[in-house]
Amino acid sequence: MQDVTFFFNEKCLDYSSYDHPESPDRVRRAWEFLSDKGMSFRTAGASTDDDILSVHSRQLAENVRTGNFSDINTPYLPGIYDYAKLSAGGAIDAMKYASENGFAFSLMRPPGHHAGRASLGGFCYVKNHWSRDQWHPELSKNATITVYSGSYIPHSTTSHID
């Protein structure tokens, strides 16, 4: 069995919204459990604005950055655009690592599976898993990407950008 390398950045635990189900505890508990088991971790880096604009409209990126949106399940929080870029960066880092070295997993938040090209929702601000084909298609020949979501909600945007 091949080991898995996890990409994580503690900064993803630094934000929260009172009594919101997408809380830092969800990822913190997984990180602590896996760390206690001796799993290998690398620090996830942030994606760039160009990475975000390769899969999202400029208007969505600007709205998330400035807080110019209203969604009861996806609240504006100070710095959320930077946290979303960090989460997307973790996905890119894991994809790049997997294409050359084996198994990798991005353990980051906020999630991104409900975000569309020009829409956010379901706790998701920007894509954090659309990396292989959209962000770095040259790596798609070398890596198999599997998206795992702990959500029980059907994902209209997991396999495509609307």
* pLDDT tens for the 162 residues of the chain, in order: 568 999 999 999 999 988 888 899 999 999 999 999 999 999 999 999 999 998 899 999 999 999 999 998 999 999 999 999 999 999 889 888 988 888 899 999 998 888 989 999 989 999 876 545 565 666 656 666 655 555 555 555 444 444
pLDDT of 1 reads 53
pLDDT of 20 reads 84
Altogether, the residues listed in the chain come to a count of 162
Does CATH number 2.170.120.12 belong to domain 4-139?
Answer: no
Asked whether 92 and 86 are in contact (CB, 8 A), the reply is no
pLDDT of 151 reads 53
The number of C-alpha atoms within 13 Å of 101 and in the hemisphere containing its C-beta is 11
Tell me the whole-structure pTM to 2 decimals: 0.85
Between CA 8 and CA 107 the distance in angstroms is 5
Comparing CA positions, the residue from 27, 17, 29, 2 lying closest to residue 102 is 2
Tell me the residue ranges of DSSP E strands in 18-60.
Answer: 40-43
Active site residues: 114
